[in-house]
Amino acid sequence: MKDVEADVLVVGSGIAGLAFSLRASRYADVLMVTKKDRADSNTNYAQGGIAAVFDPEDSYEDHRRDTVLAGAGLCHPDSVDRLVREGPERVRELIAWGVEFSRRDGELDLAREGGHSHRRILHSADLTGREIEESLLRAVSEEERIRTAEDHFVWSLTASHGPAGGRRRCTGAVVLDVQEGEFLRVRSRAVMLAAGGCGRVYRHTTNPAIATGDGVALAWQVGAAVANLEFMQFHPTALYPAGSHAFLISEAVRGEGAVLRRRDGERFMERYHPSGSLAPRDVVARAIHAEMREAGDDHVLLDLDPLPDGCLEERFPNIRRRCAEEGLDLPAQPIPVVPAAHYQCGGAYTDAGGRTTLRGLYAAGETACTGVHGANRLASNSLLEAVVYAARASRSVRRELADLPPPRSGGPEEEPAMERPGTDPDEVGDRVRELMWEDVGIVRSDEGLTRARRGLAELSEEPLARDGSPTGAMEARETAFTLRLARLMVRAAGRREESRGLHYTQSHPYRDSENYLHDTVLAP
């Protein structure tokens, strides 16, 4: 394999990877690899915005309280404090990098979403993620010390022991250059995992096709601990019919006044939570699920009548355009919506400085479990967490880089190959998504988890690349990552014999804080 060297290898080109790379380029040579086009990431599809305290009537304590309340007892208080106190500075940094947030009369136009007690959501109309992604990509393109490799897929991470059997550390990665069809050995002092989420583990998701859980699967493969994988957030309002990449209807639409109704017109959220349609996402998703099952419906309705005049045109032009393509005349007609897998609250287990349990390996964004989200993410905290903890990880790498010299050894733990014996990756992937949707979804049970565990155990981890092409090899490896992650998610869910936040099981429908008020940590 061809050898490539860099001080820091960054896996992923979403907001966490871009923000980290921009900061790390101040003191190191950075190689940022992404398996698709640079702009293809979960960040690009984020509609709502980024939460931070800018309203004079808001406070750090209020933001902290809202976050902890949503997190159902599992948020790390110190992690949340760092998020809310460092958040405004990180948002100002985004603005300095060229991000333009919507303004009204020259001031930031702050929106409100479910679970928030104040208007604190900065947005760019309803295309906030795209604005952030494009602005940071422009900033990255101007940095000489950042090399970007598109169509490069991280096959595996590498690790070695230090002198005289010292502590094991990450030494780089084996990367497939999909265009050239060759494997590269990237040797680096430090590796940042910012590879996004895992929505493709489920049949219906708001995530793009790239969200196959690569980052968490890679962390586990190389020996890092993972945590809280049982907490998968389902966005309550994806446009029906949902598919493998559902279009989400931003929570901010409900923040502006829209309400949920059954298909027969009955408002129902007030029966589940005092905040009604602005309840936390886990409550809303379960309520919709329950109402659909009771009525035998395949979706519910989002009523737009309460929205102020002109709100759709000014605040949600992309949602109105997309719904018009589906033949919906907004706001005269309600929007048919259904829950879909949206955000993984768990991930590679990190400390306050973005360090995983493996020396030299760092993580941020949806790939990481920082302790901020607990058992349920508060809306629009994800983009903020990504930039806050990417900055903290960058500071850690800067301090530790001198102690992480370029490795001289530490090859791949398995020889990469374009093609391996096994079953068709499409068959394996479809079966994974079916099992996870039916038995590890919004509502779970011991029986369903056992059924999912057995079904996943029957599947091969080495699906056949159909044609032996580089693209086929990448897709087969993605399927293996998805299967690996699904097994870990089921394992984590089986360990939590209670209902908390996003993990609701009919077999244990109540919280058990005496025995389960802690993270679910899995170690290889």
What count of residues does the chain have?
A: 524
**What confidence score (pLDDT) does residue 510 get?**
96
Chain segment 10-67, per-residue pLDDT in tens: 999 999 999 999 999 999 999 999 998 654 555 555 556 999 999 999 999 999 999 9
Q: Is the pLDDT at 123 greater than 70, yes or no?
A: yes
Q: How far apart are CA 176 and CA 471, in angstroms?
A: 10
For strand 30-33 and strand 2-11, is the pairing parallel, antiparallel, or unpaired? parallel
CATH architecture of the domain covering 236-338: Alpha-Beta Complex (3.90)
Classify each residue of 184-212 as buried b or exposed e, where b means 16 or more C-beta atoms within 10 Å of its C-beta. bbbbbbbbbbbbbbbbbbbbbbbbbebbb
135 sits in which H/E element: helix 128-141
**What confidence score (pLDDT) does residue 163 get?**
61
The predicted model scores a pTM of 0.91
Amino acid at 401: L
Cα–chain center distance at 201: 12
Q: Which residue has the tokens 């002092």?
A: 189
CATH fold of 425-522 reads Methane Monooxygenase Hydroxylase; Chain G, domain 1 (1.20.58)
Q: Determine the average pLDDT of the residues in 270-275.
A: 94
- pLDDT-derived band at 413 (thresholds 50, 70, 90) equals low
Higher pLDDT, 271 or 420: 271
Domain boundaries, the chain: 2-230+345-403, 236-338, 425-522
DSSP state of 150: T
Beta bridge pairs of residue 491: none
**What confidence score (pLDDT) does residue 10 get?**
98
Query: Is 410 in contact with 160 (CB distance < 8 Å)?
Result: yes
Q: How far apart are CA 374 and CA 67, in angstroms?
A: 9
Q: Is the pLDDT at 72 greater than 80, yes or no?
A: yes
Chain segment 165-211, per-residue pLDDT in tens: 567 899 999 999 999 999 999 999 999 999 999 999 998 898 888 99
Looking at the chain, the whole-number percentage of residues with pLDDT higher than 70 is 94
Higher pLDDT, 350 or 413: 350
Q: Is the pLDDT at 446 greater than 80, yes or no?
A: yes
**What confidence score (pLDDT) does residue 408 get?**
60
Active site residue ranges: 281
Looking at the chain, the whole-number percentage of residues with pLDDT higher than 90 is 79
Chain segment 369-406, per-residue pLDDT in tens: 999 999 999 989 999 999 999 999 999 999 999 887 77
Q: Determine the average pLDDT of the residues in 68-80.
A: 96
Query: Is 48 in contact with 119 (CB distance < 8 Å)?
Result: no
**What confidence score (pLDDT) does residue 47 get?**
58
Q: How far apart are CA 458 and CA 185, in angstroms?
A: 32
Q: Is the pLDDT at 412 greater than 80, yes or no?
A: no
Q: Is the pLDDT at 249 greater than 60, yes or no?
A: yes
CA distance readout (Å), 2 to 173, 176, 417: 12, 11, 15
Higher pLDDT, 388 or 311: 388
Phi, psi angles (nearest 5°) of residue 369:
-115, 100
- pLDDT-derived band at 4 (thresholds 50, 70, 90) equals very high
Q: How far apart are CA 226 and CA 215, in angstroms?
A: 11
Q: Is the pLDDT at 358 greater than 90, yes or no?
A: yes
Q: How far apart are CA 109 and CA 52, in angstroms?
A: 12
Tokens encoding 263: 């298909």
CA distance readout (Å), 454 to 47, 210, 231, 503: 37, 26, 20, 20
Q: What's the mean per-residue pLDDT of the chain?
A: 91
Q: Is the pLDDT at 119 greater than 80, yes or no?
A: yes
Assigned CATH for 2-230+345-403: 3.50.50.60
